[in-house]
Amino acid sequence: MGRRKQPEIASDLLDRCTDYSLANGLPDRLEPLARAAGASARMLLYHFGTRDALLKAILQRARQRQVASFTDWLRARTNEAYTDTLARAWTEMTGPNGQPFVRMFNQLRESAEQSLWPDFRRIATTDWLEPLEVGLGTINRPELATLVLAVIRGLLMDREATGDTARTDRAFFEFLGSLGDGATGNSG
């Protein structure tokens, strides 16, 4: 009779593989993940079944982390203008805390790995609308959520493709200024 799988071991291995992949991208082979996890490729296959199943689990774990972080950064705060919240969120998304996620998921959009998560584009497009609508509601502009999301996503993709941080920062802060005087009131 075989050993029983231990979910806590699989979870720990997944966290280590996710950390590696956020720092280095998704590898083509299992060996870099095995080294990062302090395990063998055989152990990874034992817990996850196939390389593709492990990569999909890594993407899902990374996405859980990204959603938690980005949702917190976009959350409206009492006594803070929502444009200030958006400015801080942009700084986090483009800084060391957010860049690994942006890099990984931009690569996913552009690669053959998209087969690992075929519905990813739709999910990644819509999951930020709710916190943006709530935040923009504090300045009576919830209808701008789609526009703000499009600007953020477009500038993040531009920044990743060109590396032009100064230009994309200027564009984002210019956009925030265009939201008008109503955008600088206190949130409630």
pLDDT for 96-143, tens place per residue? 999 999 888 877 765 555 577 777 777 777 888 999 999 999 999 999
Domains of the chain by residue range = 7-181
CATH for the 7-181 domain, from 1.10.1060.10, 1.10.357.10, 3.40.190.10, 3.60.10.10: 1.10.357.10
Global confidence as pTM: 0.82
CB 90 within 8 A of CB 73: no
What share of the chain in percent tops pLDDT 70?
89
Determine the pLDDT at residue 187.
Answer: 37
Helix, strand, coil fractions of the chain, as percent rounded to 5: 75, 0, 25
Q: Encoding tokens for residue 130?
A: 């709710």
